[in-house]
Every structure is written in C-alpha cells, then in structure tokens.
C-alpha cells in the first residue's frame, strides 16, 4: 500500500516498468502534500498572537488533516481502479460470449477508473479553498508554504483531468462518455485560476 511504504519504495515502483502506480496515484499524492502543507501553516498560526482567529484555524487544521487522509485513500483507489482496467483487457475473448463479457468488463472498469480522478479534482478544489482562507490570517513566516500548497493542488487537479480524459475517450457508450467527461463541471479550471491567484498574492506579500 502506498500509505505504508517508504518514499523511496514508492518512487522505485513509480519509476518501474509497471503500470501501477502511475499518474493518478502521483496526482493524489500531490493533493495529499498540498493538504498537509495547509495543515502545517495552520498549526504555525496558533497561540496568543493569533487568538482572534483560533476557531477558524482549528477548523482549517481539522479539514486539512481530513483531506490528507482522503487523498491517500484516492491514491490507493486509483491504483486499484487502473489495475482493474488492465485485468479486464487480459480477459479471454476466444468465443463471442467471452468477447462480449470482456468488452462489458472493460467498459465498466474504464468508468470506474474515471471516477477516482474526478473525486480528486474536487478534493484539490477544497485544498485551494482552505489555503485561500488561511492566507488571510496565516503566520507570515510560513506564508510561502501556502503557495506551495496551492501549486500542489493545481498539479493534482490538472493531472487528474488528464486521467479522466484518457479513460473517457475509450468509453463506447456516448451517454456514459458524456456523463463521465462532465462530472467535474469545470472544477479543474476553477482550481487553476484560484491557485494562480493565490500564488500571486503570496508572492506579492513576500516581495512587498
């Protein structure tokens, strides 16, 4: 499991000539790091100096910690979903019945594989929202990490979108393909714009 292996072991698997883990899992880890950075900045925004924002900061810490867990679950889910696609393509097709069963299995697996990155895009949006809220009150000493969190969330969203697209184009049913293609409703574009805006605001504060 990704969540229980060392960073070196994960990277070795990612670099190997094996289909999983791949870009989907990497995207989820981008998101996990982004959420963890938000939680870290929030934890540095505590104490008497920030008492007036204590309730907001506590809520952000709790939410960010939860998003880390969700992102790691999505990393595992993406790995399993993509393995399901691979396994479905390996099914026998020696008879018409087997061929039809294989085709149906492939389509079901592709639809499932497109759902996980869609969830990840939405999660990335939640990370940027938290980072944006935290920016207003954050400890200035770690403000650059808010930009890092936003960039990580953006990477998660854009990578997830590509993974949605590559699965959707292989779905034969037009209705299912349209539904899966539109399942994020442009959220990734909003994540990109919000992340860019937040990074610019952070840089503006740092550079004066």
**What letters, b where the CB count within 10 A reaches 16 and e where it falls short, cover 165-200?**
eebbeebeeeebbeebbebbeebbebbbebbeebbe
pLDDT at 48 over 90: yes
In 3D space, the residue among 18, 110, 126, 19 whose CA is nearest the CA of residue 71 turns out to be 126
Q: Mind listing the pLDDT tens digit for each residue in 90-120? A: 999 989 999 999 999 998 898 888 889 999 9
16-30, 134-148, 154-168, 172-186: least confidently modelled range: 172-186
CB 145 within 8 A of CB 40: yes
pLDDT at 106: 92
pLDDT at 175: 81
Q: Residues near 136 by Cβ (< 8 Å), separated by ≥ 6?
A: none
pLDDT at 168: 82
- Per-residue pLDDT, averaged over 136-148, amounts to 97
pLDDT at 73: 97
Share of the chain above pLDDT 70, in %: 100
pLDDT at 136: 94
pLDDT at 120: 96
Average pLDDT, the chain: 93
pLDDT at 153 over 90: yes
- Per-residue pLDDT, averaged over 155-173, amounts to 88
Structure tokens of 77?
């889910």
Distances (CA, A) of 79 to 8, 35, 58, 106, 136: 18, 20, 32, 16, 36
pLDDT at 98: 92
Q: What pTM did the predictor assign? A: 0.92
What does the alpha-carbon distance between residue 98 and residue 199 come to, in Å, rounded to a whole number? Answer: 53
Q: Residues near 44 by Cβ (< 8 Å), separated by ≥ 6?
A: 138, 139, 141, 142
State the chain's maximal CA–CA distance in angstroms.
73
CATH architecture of 2-207: Up-down Bundle (1.20)
Q: Residues near 53 by Cβ (< 8 Å), separated by ≥ 6?
A: 45, 137
Give me the residue spans of the domains in the chain: 2-207
């Amino acid at each position: 499991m990704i969540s229980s292996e060392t960073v070196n072991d994960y990277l070795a698997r990612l670099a190997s000539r094996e289909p999983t883990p791949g870009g989907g899992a990497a995207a989820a880890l981008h998101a996990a790091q982004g959420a963890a950075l938000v939680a870290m900045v929030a934890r540095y925004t505590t104490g008497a100096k920030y008492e007036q924002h204590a309730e907001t900061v506590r809520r952000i810490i709790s939410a960010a910690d939860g998003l880390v867990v969700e992102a790691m679950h999505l990393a595992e889910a993406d790995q399993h979903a993509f393995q399901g696609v691979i396994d479905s393509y390996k099914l026998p097709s020696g008879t018409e019945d087997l061929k039809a069963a294989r085709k149906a299995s492939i389509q079901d697996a592709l639809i499932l594989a497109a759902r996980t990155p869609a969830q990840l895009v939405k999660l990335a949006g939640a990370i940027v929202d938290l980072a944006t809220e935290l920016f207003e009150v954050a400890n200035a000493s770690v403000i650059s990490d808010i930009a890092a969190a936003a960039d990580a969330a953006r990477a998660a969203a854009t990578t997830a979108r590509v993974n949605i697209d590559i699965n959707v184009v292989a779905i034969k049913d037009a209705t299912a393909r349209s539904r899966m293609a539109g399942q994020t409703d442009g959220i990734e574009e909003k994540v990109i714009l919000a992340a860019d805006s937040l990074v610019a605001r952070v840089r503006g504060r740092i550079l004066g």
